[in-house]
Chain A
Amino acid sequence: MRESIRRWLSSLGGPSATPLTLDRRRIFVLPTAAGAAFGCALIAMLLTAINYTLSLGFALVFLLAGLGQVTLLHTFRNLLALRVRCGTPEPVFAGQPARFPLWLDNDTARTRPALLLSMPGAGDSTVTVEAGQHARIMLALPTTQRGWLRPSRVTLSTRYPLGLIRAWSYAQPDQRCLVHARPETGRPPLPQTGGGQAGARRAHDGGEEFARLRTHRAADSPRHVAWKAWARSPDSPLLTKQFEGNEAGELWLDFAQLPDALSLEHKLSRLTGWALDAEAAGLRYGLVLPGTRLPPASGATHRAHVLRAIALHGLAS
């Protein structure tokens, strides 16, 4: 019931997807509990004024009634012509909060005090936007599973200045957050070689050709360290020989090689963890999922591709 009213309300001003400028059709106003109490007090005061024929009592009550009318407009005006935009959230791993940056633009020459932003699950935050400025509010949503996370509708409300009236409006952020599968904790180490190794195979050593030297990383195999170069000048940093070729130092993260006993999510979780490990080890790694094959490479972009493929595996885009 409540939800259907809310849906109907948010449909009133047309689609509420961000970016969105709050015009008068989108802003709703109703008295708050304090406003209702104020109204009751006014009635009691009016009766007192009538009963004791207090002329100034009448004046006081009518002034307060006028104040009620005025605060309605002030509260309404506090939201009017605000612009709401949603920034692109960074991908996160399941379990980490997805952080949606929401921008409130105030292009008018008036300060917008005490704006309350709330999103189910993300809690509330209050913000004041100065004249001609903007504010960024991070809405942190908890995540539990991989895939796309679409935020629910944001309610932007205010009770300023007197707290007797609440004006509110809805905005639907147009962004979604990519949630990666949770990296498996206590996962087995990266597979060393190909063949029988579960889930991954290392490339053969044969056929590799020396390509270049680069600075040594802790995870590099000692076999590839350019010991000769180091022996010539022990003060220089340790170098690692890099080899070119299809199979040199390459790791295939293969879904099909993982033990069948693991569940789908467990397998994806392990693949995510290995992808992170491989990237940290400076290895070139490829990914094989049913229906997807990413050739070995390394670097942030590749890592993002791999993680994204794992996160969205089996999900409608």
Chain B
Amino acid sequence: MIGWRKRSPRVTTPATPLTPSQVAWLMAVAACALLPHASHLPAWLDAVAILLFTWRIAQWKLHWPGAGRIVKLLVVVACCIGVTLSFGRLFGREPGVALLTLLLVLKLHELRSARDGHTIVLLGYFMLLAAFLYSQTPAMAAALAVSMSVITAALIALNGPPATVRALLRQAGLMLAQALPFMLVLFVLFPRVPGPLWGLPADAYGASSGLSDSMAPGSISQLSLSGEIAFRARFDGPVPEARERYWRGPVLTDFDGRTWRQGESARRIGDTLPHAPGGTAVAYEVTLEPHNKNWLFALETLSALPSGMRMSDDWQLLAGEVVRSRRRDRFESIPEARPGHEEWSGYLDAARRLPADGNARARGLAVALRAQAGSDAGTVAAVLQMFRRKAFVYTLTPPLLGDDGIDAFLFDTRRGFCEHYAGAFVFLMRAAGIPARVVTGYQGGERNEIDDYIVVRQSDAHAWAEVWLPDEGWRRVDPTAAILPSRVEHGLAGMAAGEPVPFIARGDAGWLRSLRQRWEAANNGWNQWVLSYDQDKQRELLHRLGMRSPDWRLLTAWMAGLCALFAVALTAWAMRRGIARDPLARAWTGIHHALRPLGLGREDWEGPMDYAARVARTRPDLAKDVAQACRLYADARYGTSPPLQAARELRACARALRRKRTPAAS
């Protein structure tokens, strides 16, 4: 027989209504689930949510009356109308999140049973997922991991006996930790399907900054104030010099007197490279941040067109679809290449076209320079010479230009940013009858020493020119480099002192820079391996792990196998902890184990009292301790003393015996 501990067990009848502590947990769930959304929901909806939440707290703490059926119905109808007015529709991503928020706070007002509690918890988990639609930074992931623990603890509170907050959180943490291996296996091996599965609502992608398909004075200098990352590149071999890193973007051929735009040629798109450069190619990989446009950025000059991409007549690289999520592409380029000089005459005509009038002084200058130089190449050199000689200033804050902006810039202000120089240069060339075009993109980029990625930011946005010379074909001319060579060598950090260079682009503060680089390397690792873990990355990783041809069948088999393995391991753990092991018996074994080295191990047939007597005969010095231990065991096993406490005392006895046996034995 087992000795009973005299203590009345907790016996309760199943409670259908929720206890106050369960209600408190559910409120915590709602708070955890809604907080990450507060910043992007419309302010009025935030206010409604806070109001309903506060009301619920008042109902709970101050015993206010709860929201009645009519009130709830009115709130739902009013909010549906509000959502429709705010977002223009009732379905889609943003309105969906707004309605889920509303549902969650309203559900707090009808907590009758555990079932309502489960609904709140499921809504909470869903809201966590929805939060990832807006941000997937490591910080967000960490915050949501905490929320996840709180929601899981609430689920335990709903289904278990009353327990302390600490105990519940510990249990939740233990279970989540045990779930981690499953998550890792599934994350790595779950066959990734390139989304989307169905048409996404138009609001699926937020606005993002980046180059556009037009350029007016000020548009690029505005962009260069942003430290946001445009893309990252990693080179297989040595990295080309910064002044050779021209990342080609939109090519602008049409000019209306003020703004440069993409022309007819940008819409003529082919599947093959229009040029055939020669030289040694560098291979690299570009991870492009989503910019909601269909062009890609590659180093000039591409030597091969990757499959699935196309190129316009302007040599602008285009993706098959709009870039709405981070994408990774491999390219090969030849930085020093001189592409062939074949060009279609219709294109060249278009590249000489200017508005009928305006900027008369500039036109006159161009004609004069052309006559003076005698050749197209000479004209190019003369214009660059003029920029260098005539005190032109490169600045982020140029004065405003009125009508005839090119004239005003060339003859009056002489202060401008790259778009002014590129624009004015191409204007002059065209006025002199030389085909020319504006190329926008990024120049340079900073090398992160931690992970060796080249980081290209919006502040690296740049505009330069290309002119067509009869014997040479298209030649890149960067007027900015003529005025301020350090701009193309060191980025904006190379600008004149006193210029308001964006903080991120400044070259000073070594430790700060190293800290920033570390942080960005960590971020990039996160982006590359967690956020952009797609079909390609999955294939790459599995290939590295030795899976030659991972198709979905193999992946599923591995996934099932590994999950089963973890489940078996976990079951073994559960069984080990679950099998009844009598603490008293274990402690009793400890006693005769302590005496075994003295040749006084207990025989199987020996009862505790006989054993005590035998030990006392051989070792009278231990008699007292052994007798006490045997009595303890017998009282707990056959009598009424509490077994757990007896086990504790027996362990102490075993320790004492081990201590005492040594002096006598030696």
Q: A64-B125, A67-B175, A113-B161 are in contact. Are A55 and B136 (CB under 8 A)?
A: yes
Q: Tell whether, in the assembled complex, residue A48 and residue B129 are in contact, meaning their CB atoms are under 8 Å apart.
A: yes
Q: Tell whether, in the assembled complex, residue A37 and residue B180 are in contact, meaning their CB atoms are under 8 Å apart.
A: no
Residue B392 is within 8 A (CB to CB) of chain A in the complex: no
Q: Tell whether, in the assembled complex, residue B171 and residue A69 are in contact, meaning their CB atoms are under 8 Å apart.
A: no
Within 8 A of A (CB), among B1-28: 2, 4-5, 7, 9-15
Per-residue CB contact flags for chain A residues 156-170 toward chain B (1 = under 8 Å, else 0) read 000111110000000
Chain B residues with CB under 8 A of A160: 156, 159-160
Q: Tell whether, in the assembled complex, residue B178 and residue A70 are in contact, meaning their CB atoms are under 8 Å apart.
A: yes
Q: Tell whether, in the assembled complex, residue A51 and residue B181 are in contact, meaning their CB atoms are under 8 Å apart.
A: no
Residue A128 is within 8 A (CB to CB) of chain B in the complex: yes
Alpha-carbon gap, A109 to B581, bound state (A): 8
Chain A residues with CB under 8 A of B579: 80-81, 108
Per-residue CB contact flags for chain B residues 104-148 toward chain A (1 = under 8 Å, else 0) read 000000000011001000100110111011001000110010001
Residue B521 is within 8 A (CB to CB) of chain A in the complex: no
Q: A50-B193, A132-B643 are in contact. Are A60 and B132 (CB under 8 A)?
A: yes
Closest to A85 in B: B2
Residue A54 is within 8 A (CB to CB) of chain B in the complex: yes
Interface size on A, residues (CB 8 A): 67
> Which segment of A119-127, A193-201, A212-220, A260-268 sits at the interface?
A119-127
Chain A residues with CB under 8 A of B183: 59, 62-63, 65-66
Q: Tell whether, in the assembled complex, residue B144 and residue A161 are in contact, meaning their CB atoms are under 8 Å apart.
A: no
Alpha-carbon gap, A163 to B175, bound state (A): 14
Q: Tell whether, in the assembled complex, residue A57 and residue B179 are in contact, meaning their CB atoms are under 8 Å apart.
A: no
Q: A51-B198, A54-B129 are in contact. Are A108 and B180 (CB under 8 A)?
A: no
Most chain B Cβ neighbours within 10 Å, of A66, A70, A128: A66
Q: How far in angstroms is the closest Cβ of chain A from B242?
A: 32
Per-residue CB contact flags for chain A residues 61-77 toward chain B (1 = under 8 Å, else 0) read 11111110111011011
Q: Tell whether, in the assembled complex, residue A127 and residue B11 are in contact, meaning their CB atoms are under 8 Å apart.
A: yes
Q: Tell whether, in the assembled complex, residue A77 and residue B574 are in contact, meaning their CB atoms are under 8 Å apart.
A: yes
Alpha-carbon gap, A161 to B175, bound state (A): 10
Q: How far in angstroms is the closest Cβ of chain B from A98?
A: 18
> Which segment of A134-142, A202-210, A279-287, A293-301 sits at the interface?
A134-142
Partner of A55, one of B4, B158, B186, B531: B531
Q: Tell whether, in the assembled complex, residue A107 and residue B122 are in contact, meaning their CB atoms are under 8 Å apart.
A: no
Alpha-carbon gap, A76 to B579, bound state (A): 12
Alpha-carbon gap, A135 to B7, bound state (A): 9
Most chain B Cβ neighbours within 10 Å, of A38, A41, A63: A63
Q: Tell whether, in the assembled complex, residue B574 and residue A73 are in contact, meaning their CB atoms are under 8 Å apart.
A: yes
Alpha-carbon gap, A162 to B175, bound state (A): 10
Not counting A110-B578, A132-B643, a sample of 8 additional A-B residue pairs whose C-beta atoms are within 8 angstroms of each other reads A41-B126, A52-B200, A58-B190, A59-B183, A66-B182, A67-B176, A74-B175, A108-B577
Q: List 5 A-B contacts (CB under 8 A).
A: A57-B132, A70-B179, A113-B160, A126-B161, A163-B155
The chain A residues found within 8 Å of chain B, CB to CB, are 21, 24, 34, 37-38, 41, 44-45, 47-67, 69-71, 73-74, 76-77, 80-81, 83, 105, 107-110, 113-114, 116, 123-137, 159-163
Cβ-closest 8 pairs across A and B: A66-B182, A66-B179, A135-B9, A163-B159, A80-B578, A62-B186, A77-B574, A63-B183
